[in-house]
Structure 1
Amino acid sequence: MTTENPPIERTRQPSAHAGEFSMCFTSTPRGARLARRLTSHRLDAWGFPYASEVNGTVTLVVAELAANAVTHGRVPGRDFRLALVLSAARDLVRVEVTDTRDDRPPSDASRPPADLEAETGRGLWLVSQLASRVCVVPRGDGGPGKTVRAELTL
């Protein structure tokens, strides 16, 4: 079997992003774990090695947002979507986690949790401390649900 590469089109506009990754995952702990692992792998492929601070920080943000999507945004039989975008200047990573539940908006992430020693309830606050911007927007494709977006300046 042979594969042909199409000719390079010189008229294309340069991409506004250095890298993009998007994938759906099952709304289970296993799906959240896979999202975290593939994020770390993608960052390594983009030139941010596994042991780097950037890789660790972005992977932690994805882990928290994916865990929230699985725990609080889960609708049985529906997946969540992870999207990563690396800016063309390679100075910003945008993380988007979309779930299909819009009746449970996230709490205010800017306030520290009442009990910093509690085992739960710190995820969004932690994300807000690591990211330069965090927001919640309606799903972009018009379906039910919401997207939690975090932008990290590198």
Structure 2
Amino acid sequence: MSIWWSLHLRREAASVPLARRLLLGTMETAGVDPDISYDLSVALSEACANAVEHGGDAGHGGCSEAYRVTAYLDGEKCRIEVADSGPGFAGEDRPPRPAHDECENGRGLYLIRELADHVHIGNKPGRNGAVVSFDKILKWKKDAPLVAV
């Protein structure tokens, strides 16, 4: 069985826990192992926080005030994509590096890479905006209702 959903969210801090709760609820209902659900929810929170903080440009009017989250649970994998309308990443081919211990910011993309199996960090083709996508192989709870056969 496949499940997917997409959210169009305002670039506000309150949108981050909303996306996280929706993902956790979906995965719990489907019967995904709680440890896998937690890893993906933390990675999603980091990607959303990045879109909220860096994903807009005042020169683009209303479209820069939102970002999009899409999640797919398909078979044995979950794929999540967070896309915004900001300036995108400079030097997108460089992998993010962890911030210094004293820094409050700068750990999000590194943490996503540590929690997910495959990560792509780049820019939207032909227009402004960053895209962070990641996936993880799912493990299921015993007697999960939506286990892929």
State the TM-score bracket (shorter-chain normalisation). 0.7 to 0.9
Compared CA separation, residues 35 and 134, structure 1 to 2 (3 A): same
Could you tell me how far apart the structure 2 residues matched to 1:21 and 1:103 are? Answer: 24
Q: Deviations over 1:56-97 (max 9, x none)?
A: 111101100000000011345321110011122xx2111100
The answer to whether the aligner puts 1:99 opposite 2:84 as a matched pair is yes
Contact 2:56–2:85 (CA<8 Å) still a contact in 1?
yes
Selected match of 2:7 from 9, 23, 29: 23
Superposed, 1:70-81 pairs within 5 Å as 70-75=52-57, 77=62, 78-81=65-68
Could you tell me how far apart the structure 1 residues matched to 2:88 and 2:106 are? Answer: 19
Contact 2:68–2:82 (CA<8 Å) still a contact in 1?
yes
Superposed, 1:34-113 pairs within 5 Å as 34-48=18-32, 52-75=34-57, 77=62, 78-88=65-75, 91-105=76-90, 108-111=94-97, 113=98
Contact 2:89–2:123 (CA<8 Å) still a contact in 1?
no
Corresponding letter in the other structure for 2:29: A
Contact 1:66–1:97 (CA<8 Å) still a contact in 2?
yes
Q: Which has the higher contact order (CA 8 A, sep 6+)?
A: 2
Alignment-derived partner of residue 153 in structure 1: 137
Corresponding letter in the other structure for 2:53: T
Q: CA deviation at 1:34?
A: 1.1
Could you tell me how far apart the structure 1 residues matched to 2:12 and 2:135 are? Answer: 24
Q: CA deviation at 1:153?
A: 2.1
Contact 1:73–1:104 (CA<8 Å) still a contact in 2?
no
Alignment-derived partner of residue 116 in structure 2: 131
Could you tell me how far apart the structure 2 residues matched to 1:47 and 1:126 are? Answer: 25
Contact 1:28–1:70 (CA<8 Å) still a contact in 2?
yes
- Provide the identity percentage: 29
Normalised TM-score (structure 2):
0.75
Corresponding letter in the other structure for 1:69: A
Which structure has the larger Rg?
1
Matched residue of 1:33: which SS?
Answer: helix
Compared CA separation, residues 110 and 101, structure 1 to 2 (3 A): closer
Compared CA separation, residues 55 and 85, structure 1 to 2 (3 A): same
Q: How many residues align?
A: 132
> Which consecutive unaligned segments of at least 5 residues does structure 2 have?
139-149
Which of the two has greater helix per residue? 2
Give me the CA root mean square deviation.
2.4
